[in-house]
Structure 1
Amino acid sequence: MSSDGIDAAETLPVGAQFDCPFETDFCQWTQAQGTDKFDWKLIAGSTLTAGTGPSGDHTTGKGHYAYFESSVGANGDKAQLISPTLTIASGHSKCLVFYYNMYGEHVNALNVYEKTNTAKMNIVWTRHGNQGANWTEARINLPVATNFQVVIEAVRGRGWKGDISIDDTKTVNGPCPPLGTILPSVPPGARTTPMPVSTSCNFETKAVCGYTQDKSDNFDWRWSTGSTASAMTGPNNDHTYGTPAGHYMYMESSDARPNAKARIISPRLPGSGTRCLQFWYSMFGQQVNTLNVYAKSRSLGNVLWTLSGNQGMDWKIAQVTIPGGSNYNVSLLLSFYYLSLT
């Protein structure tokens, strides 16, 4: 689930151009020197190794893209691609967007770093393992900093079915954009038009996409980054970025007594047609109780999805069918002990 607003697309100054379809060259991106072992390459169609990589580029399906060939080298070998230098002033924000393909049983990792002029690299986003055969969009809020570069790094796995590919890099002004919005219907005689409702949220800003705390429960969800305040429970990082740069919502078990409940409620969504709610959750701890999902119309209604007990530290995906009918809010209710949602 991902969200936040978007301004018009931005063209960066000459010499600081992030946008690249990788059709004929790497544009303003350059190969690292001395900090990796291999280079990224350009290719059209499938990669050289069967059982890994995409079948074509993201842009047209027939063009070129950048990729890391895993049939050479050893486990842990890296290829790094470095952006032009960029400055983001306080009070401003930019979003890096690109598409990636990580398909194959030996895929290791794709990392994105912020590199300062002191050569220090801070990881801001990561993905590990086989992510499927399709191209997937990544959206990363870039940090406020002076004279830094973005480094995109592919890491080789333990075998040759581990090619990693990227395509269509660009930046846009403002926080990273939502993946989808709904235009609510206008009641007869209404004098104002309701604001568009985002159907997606990655909880990267304090506004949390218009989700609100329920006033009839026992306590509130928290907005956090990194690990949680309690030991031996919760994830190490959020799901969106997989690093301390990302945020998520969680219920802190030390905030309430056993069997207390915390509920967050989505913005109002149109009830026309059946929809699928998808989210990622972490339910890790010896005393985890229950996570419930409701489609709240006039009342909370029946539970549409429920899960109880320790599910391990990793983020796991959930999909919930929301039947058509009246306009509704999605309500996520957690009974003590602990859950994280992104």
Structure 2
Amino acid sequence: MARLWVLWGALLGWAGSPFPSWGAYGNSSASTCNFACDRWDCSDESHCGYRNGLALPGAALACDFEGTTCGWEDVSTSGYRWHPGRGRGWVHGADPPFDHTLGTDQGWYMSTSEQRAKPPAAPARLRSPTLSDAASTCELCAWYSMAETGPNGSFTLELSHGGHVVPLWRSPASSSGAWRPLLAYTGRVRGTFQVTFSSVASVALDDVQFRNCRPQSSRSCAPDERPCLPSGCVAPARHCDGTEDCSDGSDEQGCETFFSCPFEEDWCRWAADANQSLSWARNCSSQVPSSPARPTRDHTTNTPEGHFIYVAGAQPGRAELFSPTLVVNGSCHLVLYAHLHGSDANRLNVYSQTETKRELILSRAGDLGDFWFRQEATFNGTEDFQIVLEGVIGKDPQSSIALDDLILSPGCIQQSGLFSAPHTEQPPGPVPCKDDQFACDSGARCLGSEQVCDFKADCDDDTDESQCGASNFTHGMGGWADVSVGRIQWVSAGRDPASPGLGLGQAPGQMLSLARATTPLLGPSSWACAVELQFNTGPQGFLALAVTDAAPGQWLWHAQGNGTAAWQHATVALGARERPFQLELLATEEDFALAIKSVAFLDCGASLSHPSGLSCNFESNLCGWFAEPGDGFEWRLHIGQDHTTGRGSFLSADPAAPGSRGRRARLVSAPQASLTLSNACLSFWYRLEGPQIGTFNLLVKSAGAAEEVLWTRAGTQGAAWRRASATIPQHLLPGFQVIFELLRDGFVGTVAVDDVALAPGPCAAPLRCNFEEPGACNVSGGGWVRWQGGGTSGQGPLHDRTLGTSEGE
């Protein structure tokens, strides 16, 4: 059969592939595949990677791998290769059981899991068609699923153009599990280029899309805008700013009156202060020691050979960079490109310094991504001044702060001479706290950073919990920090200063990405923790709440505009999470009409009292059980044919529910007191049915210990309520939890739980036995053996009574 499969694939043009070869459709050239339709029928783009070779005006270049590879080609040099894959019963190290596009086992994706060498002789490499002329806003997004957690960077994406190879993205260390998003920025690319996915781990890839890569569309320019050729317009603030917004580059021509420093030759009269704990260094990526957080290219040339400056040092500290002495003539603006990556504790500060004072003009902090983002600062005044760029490295010395393309507008007139930093006196009062401490009670005492935003007020004035994200926004952003890098950002008050809240406003970034805001580090949270939002998406807006902890950011909830401006309410479960974690708000709205009126944390303190007992029939509430968020695949309360009354409430998880992308659904109890007297018996009624329902587990977890499996069933058990029980051992530590977990194989089936009960003493031996599990009922020996209908060779029944199938025991 395998030989016939290879032969069939060879006849189709790709050995081993069920898809036809893209080579039959031709390849791109420099005059095509530039993300723009230059012919009326888009025929110049139809063979450049679009699904089924069909390019439509305005459509993004995307491939979902449903029946085609869209020109993506396996270029591996060993037996470890990429191939089209489909869902199947999931086991560790194998393909995911469903694709991302359809969420079913009938959907296709690209996979490296088969023909795995141990270890692989070389990475499996998947290369795109040849493309050309990516705009400065171009980004590549995709979804990937890793069956096992590999080392940091075991799955990578790189860009090849003009003889250069530029790393764009690498997988984080904790990447295994359900489908996860991947986002990378190509930067401006002139001429032809390709991107390549490489992996030394088992990984699946789906829904690859290039967004915002085409030239600007045709429109009428405003009076103050500069027209582009062949189409598009550029605002005055983006003329001569170091980024080509016009496809012909005309917006970056005629810039002789601007003072630009690309750091390619020298420091351009910018000077590093040697008296700080850290220093600025100038170099290029190809010569700097490798670091996961440091830039892999500069902004000016978009290559590893281009130069930039970065904060050098192996310990926390700060570095300062001084401009020449300047005076403002009309208006003075600085445009810079910054790279802040690897730590939330990093900070870039921009100051205006005269002989008498230093004033903070701009500050950006956090991990803003592995790419160069555009930032602006405006300076006013009549005195001579210098611009001071301060890079502050926090606790993680492997993090990165880098700068490139510092551009001063013609109104920043350079003067001769320098002046010393102004003297500042320490104000009288209490001894200030250390950098990693928090000053509370008006500076009377200092708290450790782990006591801030832990959902428990330790300061008498509650200031340690006042800037943690819960707010009605009457006094600023309530602890939310804007980390946007695109053309929209989160601002306090939004469009209407008379109505407090968080809203959207214009931003100086060059990307067309979502506005993002994050909380400080939070946690630990309780089992019942939830977030309550009062919001307005606007007629066409989009709003999402995500959480980031040990794993990359995961969307917990989202809402889209429904054509109205009505205020809405949502409660989003967080559950028990270890410190640290952060919440993130993501949003977009064309007219900036989106707003958030309030955010509240409900029952999040880790010391929250727990409901006693595990018993519940789910008729009136969840009795302290809660559903862990799981990429849309979650336990939910349903009303129907329950076990308790025949028409009541029960909990169910449906793999086919819209938006279900996760592999597992988990129902978790509140932490319980220890079992000091004897073992206990947990009994419950369940339904497990459907050909792809997967495996249903009962687990127990003690505080600080790993989860243990107490009971499990795999595959359909029939369309009826069945009773099960398991003994919880006496030795469990205080705070143990019970977990119902479904690991689905596909999308067809359902699982339900009802009438959970906990009783003292071990579970009694069952009065009935269906022999579905090895060692069931302690029956063995005497010549009796367990058998399946398909293996009796005619010596027994063809199917069992329990399941009515040949797979039943």
| 1:171 equivalent in structure 2 | 408
User: Could you list the per-position Cα deviations for residues 189-241 of structure 1 after superposition, in whole angstroms to 9, with x for gaps in the alignment?
Assistant: xxxxxxxxxxxxxxxxxxxxxxxxxxxxxxxxxxxxxx99935x634798489
| 2:334 equivalent in structure 1 | 96
Q: Could you tell me whether the CA contact under 8 Å between 2:535 and 2:568 is conserved in 1?
A: yes
Report whether the alignment pairs 1:29 with 2:274: no
Using the alignment, how far apart are the partners of 1:166 and 1:26 within structure 2? Answer: 12
Match among 591, 612, 621 for residue 330 of structure 1: 591
| 2:348 equivalent in structure 1 | 110
Match among 497, 520, 538 for residue 293 of structure 1: 538
Alignment of structure 1 residues 63-74 onto 2, 5 Å: 63-71=306-314, 74=315
* Inter-CA distance 142–317: structure 2 relative to 1 (3 Å threshold): farther
- Displacement of 1:113 in angstroms is 1.0
* Inter-CA distance 304–66: structure 2 relative to 1 (3 Å threshold): farther
Q: Could you tell me whether the CA contact under 8 Å between 1:294 and 1:305 is conserved in 2?
A: no
Alignment of structure 1 residues 217-228 onto 2, 5 Å: none
| 1:159 equivalent in structure 2 | 396
Letter in 1 for 2:334: L
Using the alignment, how far apart are the partners of 2:490 and 2:352 within structure 1? Answer: 17
User: Could you list the per-position Cα deviations for residues 265-311 of structure 1 after superposition, in whole angstroms to 9, with x for gaps in the alignment?
Assistant: 99xxxxxxxxx87334699xx99632222139xxx82579977579x
Using the alignment, how far apart are the partners of 1:239 and 1:334 within structure 2? Answer: 14
- Displacement of 1:70 in angstroms is 3.3
| 1:279 equivalent in structure 2 | 515
Q: Could you tell me whether the CA contact under 8 Å between 2:261 and 2:405 is conserved in 1?
A: yes
Q: Could you tell me whether the CA contact under 8 Å between 2:281 and 2:311 is conserved in 1?
A: yes
Q: Could you tell me whether the CA contact under 8 Å between 2:515 and 2:587 is conserved in 1?
A: yes
Match among 264, 267, 285 for residue 45 of structure 1: 285
Letter in 2 for 1:67: Y
Using the alignment, how far apart are the partners of 2:281 and 2:587 within structure 1? Answer: 37
| 1:230 equivalent in structure 2 | 474
Alignment of structure 1 residues 170-209 onto 2, 5 Å: 170-172=407-409
Letter in 2 for 1:293: G
* Inter-CA distance 160–144: structure 2 relative to 1 (3 Å threshold): same
* Inter-CA distance 32–265: structure 2 relative to 1 (3 Å threshold): closer
TM-score normalised to structure 2 length: 0.26
Report which structure shows greater RCO (CA 8 Å, sep ≥6). Answer: 1
Match among 61, 67, 78 for residue 318 of structure 2: 78
Unaligned runs of 5+ in 2: 1-233, 241-254, 412-470, 506-511, 520-530, 542-561, 573-581, 600-809
Report whether the alignment pairs 1:122 with 2:359: yes
Give secondary structure in 2 for the equivalent of 1:134.
coil
Using the alignment, how far apart are the partners of 2:492 and 2:345 within structure 1? Answer: 29
Give secondary structure in 2 for the equivalent of 1:6.
helix
- Displacement of 1:51 in angstroms is 1.3
Using the alignment, how far apart are the partners of 1:66 and 1:230 within structure 2? Answer: 40
Give secondary structure in 1 for the equivalent of 2:263.
coil
Using the alignment, how far apart are the partners of 2:272 and 2:235 within structure 1? Answer: 32
* Inter-CA distance 141–280: structure 2 relative to 1 (3 Å threshold): farther
Using the alignment, how far apart are the partners of 2:335 and 2:495 within structure 1? Answer: 32
Letter in 2 for 1:138: Q
Letter in 1 for 2:309: A
Unaligned runs of 5+ in 1: 175-226, 267-275, 323-328
* Inter-CA distance 152–306: structure 2 relative to 1 (3 Å threshold): farther
TM-score normalised to structure 1 length: 0.55
Using the alignment, how far apart are the partners of 1:42 and 1:145 within structure 2? Answer: 32
Q: Could you tell me whether the CA contact under 8 Å between 1:88 and 1:145 is conserved in 2?
A: yes
* Inter-CA distance 125–303: structure 2 relative to 1 (3 Å threshold): same
Q: Could you tell me whether the CA contact under 8 Å between 1:104 and 1:130 is conserved in 2?
A: yes
* Inter-CA distance 295–289: structure 2 relative to 1 (3 Å threshold): closer
Q: Could you tell me whether the CA contact under 8 Å between 1:293 and 1:306 is conserved in 2?
A: no
- Displacement of 1:78 in angstroms is 1.3
| 1:206 equivalent in structure 2 | none
Q: Could you tell me whether the CA contact under 8 Å between 2:495 and 2:593 is conserved in 1?
A: no
Using the alignment, how far apart are the partners of 2:386 and 2:409 within structure 1? Answer: 16
Letter in 2 for 1:78: R
* Inter-CA distance 109–4: structure 2 relative to 1 (3 Å threshold): same
Q: Provide the identity percentage.
A: 23
Using the alignment, how far apart are the partners of 2:345 and 2:597 within structure 1? Answer: 37
Letter in 2 for 1:37: S
- Displacement of 1:21 in angstroms is 0.7
Letter in 1 for 2:261: C
Q: Could you tell me whether the CA contact under 8 Å between 2:532 and 2:569 is conserved in 1?
A: no
* Inter-CA distance 145–162: structure 2 relative to 1 (3 Å threshold): farther
Give secondary structure in 2 for the equivalent of 1:66.
strand
Q: Could you tell me whether the CA contact under 8 Å between 2:284 and 2:306 is conserved in 1?
A: yes
Report whether the alignment pairs 1:6 with 2:244: no
Give secondary structure in 1 for the equivalent of 2:268.
coil
Q: Could you tell me whether the CA contact under 8 Å between 2:365 and 2:483 is conserved in 1?
A: no
Using the alignment, how far apart are the partners of 2:238 and 2:297 within structure 1? Answer: 30
Give secondary structure in 2 for the equivalent of 1:332.
coil
In angstroms, what is the RMSD of aligned CA positions?
4.9
**Higher fraction of strand:** 1
* Inter-CA distance 6–250: structure 2 relative to 1 (3 Å threshold): same
Paired positions, count: 246
Using the alignment, how far apart are the partners of 1:282 and 1:67 within structure 2? Answer: 25
- Displacement of 1:41 in angstroms is 1.0
Using the alignment, how far apart are the partners of 2:407 and 2:497 within structure 1? Answer: 42
Q: Could you tell me whether the CA contact under 8 Å between 1:99 and 1:166 is conserved in 2?
A: yes
Using the alignment, how far apart are the partners of 2:410 and 2:568 within structure 1? Answer: 39
| 1:134 equivalent in structure 2 | 371
Q: Could you tell me whether the CA contact under 8 Å between 1:239 and 1:315 is conserved in 2?
A: no
Q: Could you tell me whether the CA contact under 8 Å between 2:278 and 2:313 is conserved in 1?
A: no
* Inter-CA distance 129–168: structure 2 relative to 1 (3 Å threshold): same
Letter in 2 for 1:68: V
* Inter-CA distance 94–316: structure 2 relative to 1 (3 Å threshold): farther
Q: Could you tell me whether the CA contact under 8 Å between 1:18 and 1:29 is conserved in 2?
A: no
Letter in 2 for 1:292: T
* Inter-CA distance 78–42: structure 2 relative to 1 (3 Å threshold): same
User: Could you list the per-position Cα deviations for residues 169-192 of structure 1 after superposition, in whole angstroms to 9, with x for gaps in the alignment?
Assistant: 102358xxxxxxxxxxxxxxxxxx
